[in-house]
Amino acid sequence: MAVTTQPATPAATPAIPAAEAPPGPGYVRMGYVFAAVGALLFSTKAVIIKLAYGESIDAETLLALRMAFSLPFYFGIGWLSIRDRQRSGKPLPSGREVVAAAGVGLLGYWFASYTDFLGLEYISAQFERLILFTYPLFVVIFGAMFFRQPIRLRAVLAIGVSYAGLAVIFGEKVSTFGHDIAIGAGFVLLAAIAFAMYQLLARGLIATIGPRLFTCIAMSGAAVGAFAQFFLTHPAGDLIVSSTLYGYALLIAIGATVLPSFFLNAALHRISAQANATIGTLSPVMTILLAVLILGERITLVDIAGTALVLAGVGWFTLADQAAFRRKNG
């Protein structure tokens, strides 16, 4: 629709900007790509943590080292994000938004990470990843309960297919664990619930603050929690560890924290939390493969069958969601 304009005068008020066009299919498609890359990078975390535990380190120290190595990246990227917003005339987030983002980061990247780290002290990397990725189910349930999000049939069906695959793998692995399985599984289940809530709470803040700056604020809040926990429970000297452990902590910080956190939040800016969570079921599949290759864990025909079901569920949901988007936006 054409917009008529009046001749500019010194006292004229700025024209109201036209409404932004809805994002195109390419924009949404990149959301699926970001979600998949983030899930694959996150899948390396459990394997690296298990390697680090083999060098005798506890969850609190490893988490503090992870945050110590990753925090400079978030400070640097956060500073660039603030500078870009100032140059473009965009307002900076309010104090309330900063506090909210930091609080969400505490939930998703400190509490969820810590309980996940604790769980890995008791159970294998494969089993940890299978339990952790019950979080898509919690995203759908909590979204309906607390955020008035509809439960779409295709999401339920896709998650059902994916979880059938995970259940097949779980049934084959559960007999190999001892009595510590309940403790480890309980910690990882808490991590899954916390991460599901993080995804739902983060989406609105990401839309307001922007994915880059939100990620930096959220991870800074998580780092404060991790450092406070460490110094309340350990002497500062415990941060002096072997060069091998520093290497593992650096890998967790960059490859399994900094990069995937930006990919995840960029995906949440483009696609729904349900879509992001469902695509995230790729992560346990990759963890199983890495555990076999790096940790020497065994893989069977049952594992392969379960993996096929997971991939089928993820692929079907992604295609169905893209088709629904094209129908909606012409």
Q: What is the per-residue pLDDT across 250-260, written as a single tens digit (0 to 9) for each?
A: 999 999 989 98
Q: What pLDDT score was predicted for residue 266?
A: 85
Measured distance CA(89)–CA(17) in Å, rounded: 14
Residue 249 pLDDT exceeds 60: yes
Q: 135-146 and 181-209 helices cross at what angle (nearest 10)?
A: 50
Q: How many Cα atoms sit within 13 Å of 8 on the Cβ side?
A: 3
Assigned token pair, 73: 């990246």
- Rounded to two decimals, the pTM is 0.80
Which segment, 21-30, 78-87, 137-146, 272-281, is predicted with the most confidence on average? 78-87
329: confidence class by pLDDT, cuts 50, 70, 90: low
User: What's the pLDDT score for residue 14?
Assistant: 42
For the chain, the domains span 26-84+93-329
d(CA 258, CA 285): 21
Q: Which residues are within 8 A (CB) of 257 and not within 5 positions of it... i.e. 6 or more apart? A: 45, 66, 70, 109, 219
pLDDT in tens, 133-162: 777 778 888 888 888 878 777 778 888 888
| Averaged pLDDT score across all residues of the chain | 84
| Over residues 61-85, mean pLDDT | 95
Q: How confident is the model at residue 79 (pLDDT cuts 50, 70, 90)?
A: very high
Choose the weakest-confidence range: 2-11, 98-107, 194-203. 2-11
**Above 80 in pLDDT, residue 324?**
no
What the block records as the tokens of 275 is 């879509």
